[in-house]
Amino acid sequence: MFDGLWDKTITPLIGFGLWATSIERRIWGKVNVRECDTKHKAINGQLNRLESHMWDIMKAQNITPSVEPPEEIKKLNNRES
């Protein structure tokens, strides 16, 4: 009943697992943590500037936000209106 079970099912599963792991390790080797952190900080800076500009426009048009933005967004441009 179990003749060839190892050869027909378990060996291909182990082979597929090793193949998938090797691909993952190659991808992790190409993308390092420092590069990801640098990109993340740049994107966060752009998002903060965008939100700050939106806050300035809302403030100029006397629009009250439903959720108060953080102080870093409010004071990023240091503009008085």
Span 19-34, pLDDT tens digits: 888 887 777 777 777 7
Per-residue pLDDT tens digits for 43-77: 888 888 888 888 888 889 999 888 888 888 877 76
Structure tokens at 4: 């060839």
Question: What's the predicted TM-score (pTM) here?
Answer: 0.49
Q: For residues 34-65, b (16+ Cβ closer than 10 Å) or e, as one string?
A: eeeeeeeeeeeeeeeeebbeebbeeeeeeeee
In the numeric block, the tokens 């008085």 are attached to: 80
